[in-house]
Structure 1
């Protein structure tokens, strides 16, 4: 199986602790997003103290979720779904990327970054799914993914999970995201083991094996698998908190 290691840590999406974060573009200027208040954008551009930023992150996350739940307008749903693409990742990152994993803005940030990562690496992820979930299990049913998904299936699943968070049961969407992350993490582990076994069959020395694995991106895959496993736990915890009415 040919697997591009760059898919496990693209230049635009990197692991941050146990979640997803986006690489910053380097620009200090923000464009005004259609979904957020102009005054808020001005405040961010001018600099905000940490407490104000924390308050805004929680307020904007709750407002965005509430707005879509109450309107259910397909156009609004589409704009929210593509918030990162159309409004710029810098502003969204400024608002939500520093939020605690077990908070509403923290969970929404991870959902948006998961969707971005899935859509940009859909072909490799479809192969990893088949490695991590060779036979259908409860994870397949929870995530809503077929046993042998295509790249297009992965893209549709990415959209479905995020849109479901806004238009359906938020906890169910988080559980779907968690199951998906767990399976892909298992796929990465399986691929790493396959490469290790391949190196051993070639009769390479320990040093040669280490070099071969490094060149193949195996060590990076292990790190990504750990990050995905951590993110899966964050999503599960978020689902539990949401059901208890404590995800804020």
Structure 2
């Protein structure tokens, strides 16, 4: 994992995979949505599309038993490219449904792209966590494959199970990674500490904000106020 640069860049969402290829054409998105984006629609229109598309996607999966639909939604970013999905949801506030879905999709992409580093950070952070590992549903010594399965499980749970529970799992997962980063920074040698520790702690701080966003989103969902 590169802290603060490279393949994970600190941002509003704490983890932004870079180098994601822009697809030649969006194959599964509604053409009207794509046309609206390409045409440089008014920000209020983009916001309306953002909220409507997020609600429609969530509603469709909740009302289907077709595993193929679930798989297509789960791999939406893989197929469409992160840039296309970003046009729809990345500017949405974190206390909104599209904003939270955007963060969940980025979490999955980040976990799958950096499974080895995250598994290592989890093993560092888990011993100082409380109930986080049980909430997140991760073993105390996860492998890279465990991290990938958890990434898919959290996102799939948002669409097929209790949305708030999925957000709680996401928050708990990020909490442990944050602990791992802070422990790692604390144990750096004196020669490494000045710059490297600052980058690690900056990443940890951004991730902590994202964990708070997930937790707040769960509370809003339970109160019927996440839209």
Could you tell me the TM-score, scaled by structure 2's length? 0.93
State the shift of 1:40 in Å.
1.1
Counterpart of 1:202 in structure 2 is none
Counterpart of 1:110 in structure 2 is 103
Larger of the two Rg values belongs to structure: 1
d(CA) in 1 for partners of 2:155 and 2:17? 17
After TM superposition, where is structure 1 displaced by more than 2 Å over at least 4 residues in a row? 8-15, 17-27, 212-215
- Which of 138, 143, 168 is 1:145 aligned to? 138
How many residue pairs end up in the alignment?
227
Q: Do residues 14 (structure 1) and 9 (structure 2) align? A: yes
- Which of 62, 82, 94 is 1:69 aligned to? 62
For the 8 Å contact 2:17–2:109, the answer to whether it is kept is no
State the shift of 1:138 in Å.
1.1
RMSD over aligned CA atoms reads 2.0
d(CA) in 2 for partners of 1:79 and 1:106? 20
d(CA) in 1 for partners of 2:7 and 2:56? 27
Could you tell me the TM-score, scaled by structure 1's length? 0.85
Change (3 A) 1:9 1:82: farther
d(CA) in 2 for partners of 1:185 and 1:135? 11
d(CA) in 2 for partners of 1:131 and 1:187? 5
SS of residue matched to 1:246 = coil
Q: Which runs of 5+ in 2 are unaligned?
A: none
Q: Do residues 232 (structure 1) and 227 (structure 2) align? A: no
Change (3 A) 1:42 1:18: closer
